[in-house]
Structures are given as structure tokens and as C-alpha cells.
Amino acid sequence: MTRLTVVMLTVFVDSFGFGIVIPFLPLYASSLGASGLEVGLLLATYSLAQMIVAPRWGRLSDRVGRKPIMVIAAAGTCASFVVLGIGDNLALIFGGRALLGCFGVGYSTAQAWVADTTPIEERSRVLALIGASHSVGFALGPALGAVGVMTGGLSAPFWFAAGCAAVSALLAATLLPAAVPQPRTSTAPRLRDFSGNRSFAICLAVSFGLTYAFSNIEATFSLFTSDELAFTPTENGLFFVLIGLCAAATQVLVTRRLARRFPEHICVILGLVLLGAGAASIPFANSGASLIAPMVVLAAGFAITTPSLTAWVSRSAPADRQGEALGLSMSAAAMARIAGPGVGGLMYDELGHG
């Protein structure tokens, strides 16, 4: 088994666990009495914790290597899902989400591993493969989550996700070879060290805007389909399967080809246009069938944008600071997720569902 295959498998299992939970977390919170605003704040709690710790994890992975951080992140994620699984009140659910955010750096560390081991001209295409693994896991997870909900209630997906995180930690610990960290060419890296890098600043701004928009949808999609289209939890899960499969297919069949022909920033622009078109079409859906096309376009746009943006960030950063740069990009995205879900939930409560 090649090193890239091991990383892809680890990312797949990790995202599979997250996919199990995402469609059902807003519904679980609602069952405990949460309002739309509180659902948004619950999602934002994860991102607040992630925003604070991600650059620090990134700097640590630059020093000690990617493997230890991937193992720790997966083990911490397992513990966080256990807390969510036993949660029977909103305070415990908020605490579990915060803990989950503190360890939510496995994917960015895997991306940094790709940056360490892949020539820069090949980076977008390899990152697309990592992204496809992430998308397939995210796609298949909701299907198992739906089965769990039907058989064990709304808390069952958290226990399935905890098991997936434990498997991910085991895979990283036993199969992923240790990598020698890049030698440092400078000391005491901080955000200010990147402040004069215009390309990197643009990447952070795009990461923030992209995630802000997508987190609005993430926070309210299940509520919208339940209230406006009378979807069951199972049907919500199936639509998340659709998003993940479309994203994976796009990354394998489209994004990798685009990366050969166009620079990263052009691919990012194309992806953002598609994502915006899909998102703008969602409120006009009046049935499950009419929702399919907007979700396909949305998924395709996201699948083109994310690996291209990651490759752009990587190209803009020094070789010995790949982990920190990707951690800062994750922090920008996490900052957007703090504002996005809360604003989305509030707008859902105050402005309507359609």
C-alpha cells in the first residue's frame, strides 16, 4: 500500500465519521429544544475552537512531522464524538462540539503531508485525489447515519462516528510512515510573517468568503428541507450523499483536468461561480426533484474550488511552513464558520425559509 493510499484511506474514514453526523446534528439539537439561532451557534462553536488551535497544530506539525498530529487529531475526534453521543442537554452538546473543534485538524494535516511530498506542479491534482477521498467519505457517511437514526435514534450517528475516528487513528498510527519534517529556514513563525504576501492574503479572504457562504447552507439546509419540503431525516441524509458523490466525481473527473490546463486562481474563480449559482437556486426548489440540480451545481463548484484553493495556499507559502500556512487557511475558514451558521440560523428564524 503506497503512502498516498494510506493518507487517502485515513482521510476517507475521518470524513466518513463526520458525514455520519452532519445531516442530523441540527435535528438532534432541535430535539433538545434548540432554536435556529442556537443550532447556528452550535455549529459555530466547533469553528471557534478550530480557529484558535489550527495554526498552533500546523506549526507543531511543521516541527514534529505530520503523522503524530494525524494520530492525535483522530483520537481526540473519537473522544469528542463520545461526549456528543452521551449528551442529553444542550450544554453537553456545546462542550462536545468545542472539543471536536480543538482536534479538527486531521484533513489540513493530510493536505500538508501532500505539500511535503508532491512537486508543486502536481500538487493540485494530488490534492484533488485527497479531496475526492474526503468527499466519498462524506457522501457515504449520511447513509449509515440514516440507518443509525432509524434503528437507534438521533444520538446513534455520534457513536458510529466515534468508531470511524478510532479506526482513522489506528490507520494513521500503524500504516502511515513517519516523515522527516522540513528543516526550518526561519524562527518564530507567526501570522505577521505572511502579512506582506499578497497572494496568501487573497487566499485567506477567499477561504473566509467561501466558508461563510457554505456554512450558512450547512446550518439551515436540513431545517429548510424539513420545514419546506417535509423531508425525513433519511431523505436529508440521502441528499448529503448526493452532494458528496457529486463532489468526488467532480474532483476525479473535472478538477484534475482543469488543474493541468489552468492556474489555481482561475480554477478557484470557476468553482466560486458554480457554487454561487447552485446556492442561489436552492430557495426556488419546491420538491425533492427540483432540488437535485442546484445541489449538483453547488457540489461541483465546491469540489473545484477547495483543492484549487489549497494548492494556491501551498504555492504561496515557504516549504518549511506548509503546515502553518494551511492551518492559517483553516483558521480563516473557521472564523467564517463562527459567523456564518449563527447569521444563517438567525435569518432562517427571522426572514423565512424560502
Domain spans, the chain: 3-179+192-351
pLDDT of residue 331: 80
Q: What is the DSSP letter of 33?
A: T
Q: Are 229 and 94 in contact (CB under 8 A)?
A: no
- Spatial CA neighbour of 81 closest among 97, 94, 70: 97
Indicate the average pLDDT of the chain.
82
- Is a pLDDT exceeding 90 seen at residue 158? no
pLDDT of residue 269: 94
Q: Are 61 and 109 in contact (CB under 8 A)?
A: yes
For the chain, how far is it from start to end, CA to CA, in angstroms? 48
What secondary structure does DSSP assign to 67-114, as a single string?
Answer: HHHHHHHHHHHHHHHHHHHH--SHHHHHHHHHHHHHTTTHHHHHHHHH
Q: Which CATH number is correct for 3-179+192-351, 1.10.287.3510, 1.20.1250.20, 3.40.50.1950, 1.20.120.1780?
A: 1.20.1250.20
Write the pLDDT tens digit of every residue in 21-59. Answer: 777 777 788 888 888 778 777 877 877 888 888 888 888
For the chain, the residue count is 354
What secondary structure does DSSP assign to 155-194, as a single string?
Answer: THHHHHHHHHHHHHHHHHHHHSPP-PPPPPSSSS--GGGG
Q: Are 98 and 46 in contact (CB under 8 A)?
A: yes
- Spatial CA neighbour of 26 closest among 288, 214, 282, 218: 218
Write the pLDDT tens digit of every residue in 160-203. Answer: 888 888 988 898 888 887 655 555 544 444 545 555 578 888 88
- Spatial CA neighbour of 32 closest among 94, 81, 124: 94
Q: Are 154 and 146 in contact (CB under 8 A)?
A: no
pLDDT of residue 186: 46
Q: Are 321 and 62 in contact (CB under 8 A)?
A: yes
pLDDT of residue 192: 52
In degrees, rounded to 5, the angle at the alpha carbon of residue 70 between the alpha carbons of residues 275 and 247 is 20
- Spatial CA neighbour of 116 closest among 174, 175, 180: 180
pLDDT of residue 274: 94
pLDDT of residue 25: 78
